[in-house]
Amino acid sequence: MSVYRKYPWHQVLLRRISAVTLGVLALPVMLFRRDRTRFYSYLYRVWIKTSDKPVWLAQSELVITVRNN
């Protein structure tokens, strides 16, 4: 049993649609900003998140699983 709650598919889909929409709308402004990598890194974290487990923990568990196989 996991301590973390997995989001339903419709919530993941809405998060991803909003991340893409925000990224496309912000593109003309972010082209001229110096901190655009931070902004798009945040959008990537929104895109990849499918549960309330921290993204870094999910990715490190995935790496451990791949290395053990």
pLDDT reported for residue 42 = 92
In a domain, 29, yes or no: yes
pLDDT at 14 over 90: yes
pLDDT tens for 59-69 read 898 899 999 88
Taking the C-alpha atoms of residue 17 and residue 57, their distance in angstroms, rounded to an integer, is 24
Q: Specify the number of domains making up the chain.
A: 1
Neighbours of 40 (CB within 10 A): 16
Which domain range does residue 37 map to? Answer: 9-68
Overall pTM surpassing 0.85 (yes/no) = no
CB-side neighbour CA atoms (13 Å) of 10: 0
Q: Which residue has the tokens 């053990």?
A: 68
pLDDT tens for 24-47 read 999 999 999 999 999 999 999 898
**pLDDT band at residue 1 using 50, 70 and 90 as cut-offs:** low
Taking the C-alpha atoms of residue 20 and residue 35, their distance in angstroms, rounded to an integer, is 18
Q: Can you say how many angstroms the Cα of residue 49 is from the centroid of all Cα atoms in its chain?
A: 4
In a domain, 1, yes or no: no
Taking the C-alpha atoms of residue 2 and residue 25, their distance in angstroms, rounded to an integer, is 36
In a domain, 39, yes or no: yes
